[in-house]
Amino acid sequence: MFHVLAGSIGGVVCGMISGLTPGIHANMIAALMLGFSPAILSFLGPEGLAAILIATLITHSFLEIVPATFLGVPDDGTSLSILPAHSLTMDGKGEEAVRISALGSLWGVILTIPLALSALWFIPLMQPSIDVLTGSILVLIMGMIIVRSEASGWLFALCIVSGILGLFSFRFEYLLWNTLGAGSILMPLLTGLFGLPFLLTASEGTIPRQHFSGTIISGSSVIKSAIPGTFAGLVVGWLPGLSTASANTLVSGFIPYDNKRRNYLAATGASTLANSIIGIAVFIAIGRMRNGVMAVFSGFETPPVFLLLFVAGFSALLAYGLTIFCAGKAELLSGLNSSSLNTFVAICLVIVCGVLTGPFGLVILILATAVGMIPEILDISRIPCMGVVTIPVILYSFGIMGL
């Protein structure tokens, strides 16, 4: 038990570093852990190494909302969340945004753990049918989002253009540098589509005084929002070829991110954690790896699923406390020059993309930023930009192309 607790605490520390540092993903930490796995296994054993990996993934999933909220830096799980979260920051309510997301994440863990246990039984039975239906489900989701919009023509065009960019990017992904195992085509794609346009068009002035006087959304509303978020995370974590960003797209079909900002943050917080946890069940049930952390598991003896879910729950409690602590420091940002801060963050994002993905990553970043400026210019929803991921997956599931 000592090995498990030590590994869990070590994983929480690693997840805190990766979650709070823009450009560093939990998969990068997992790649580093793989390099040091012989030493870790000799000291902590497979249970300790598993605890480190799971705790890193869970903690990162909690804390990634912090840079998304205060800096507008997107990650795979926060690409759409930065819109309501950062807007709340500009209203002086950044701490509230982080607290709501953390609470939604915690409920996502609570709701998903028992579902993950039951999934061990029904996933193997239903997987063949699910593989066939993936593309149809995504077409239904994107179609519902576009048709319900007042500017459906522009949204459809934006989705197609984003999809073409995604097809091009995934086709030539091998040109990335893949520095330290952290290079991913999603980094320049999501940064360009959701990060840089926001930073480049943000209003000038200073960050408003951050103050917290309680969350406006009630506890029951958080739970009601966490339920569809958990469902979206479960679906995306189960379906092949999808990511947390796709889950947030699915959530937006139930809860609009523009006029129900707090509910959306609670839902996406739940979807992110549900996606992470169901990935454990999918790996145990059918051996499929949904993220880099699970890929590392395939290299050594996997501990019992009950132990893995215990670590997930334990690290979630610690990560929730850390997230609330970080949110409490929001007042330190009051009065900072937002224009200078946005410029600094934008430059850092370009540098990080260049270092981790190389010249081709920078080319993709430029193209994605150009596409990402379209919603700003036309004042339309940014959700169809997720066509960059969904259209390649749809074509792959229909057997039209490979990823």
**Residue 117 included in any domain:** yes
Tell me the C-alpha distance between 279 and 285, whole Å.
10
Q: What is the pLDDT along the chain (403 residues), one digit of tens a residue?
A: 788 899 899 999 988 988 887 656 666 666 666 666 777 777 888 888 888 889 998 999 899 888 878 776 655 555 556 667 777 887 888 889 899 999 999 999 999 999 988 888 877 777 677 666 777 877 887 787 788 777 888 989 999 999 999 999 989 988 988 665 545 787 788 788 877 887 787 656 667 778 787 788 888 889 998 998 888 888 777 776 566 666 666 776 677 666 688 888 898 899 889 988 888 888 887 776 565 566 666 667 778 888 889 999 999 999 999 999 998 887 777 777 767 777 887 888 888 888 878 899 999 999 999 999 998 888 787 778 878 878 888 888 787 765 5
Report CA Rg, the chain.
20
* Domain membership flag for residue 91: yes
d(CA 165, CA 142): 17
DSSP H or E segment with residue 354: helix 338-378
Q: Provide the domain count of the chain.
A: 1
Q: Which residues of 215-242 are buried (b: 16+ CB within 10 A; e: fewer)?
A: bebeeebbbbbbbbbbbbbbbbbbbebb
Q: Is 39 left (phi over 0), alpha (psi -120 to 50) or beta?
A: alpha
Domain that holds residue 324: 2-203+217-397
Q: Is residue 345 part of a domain?
A: yes
> Per the domain annotation, does 211 fall within a domain?
no
Q: How many CA atoms lie within 13 A of 332 on its CB side?
A: 6
In a domain, 134, yes or no: yes
* pTM for this prediction: 0.74
Tell me 299's DSSP state: T
85, 68 Cβ separation under 8 angstroms: yes
Residue 239 resides in a domain: yes
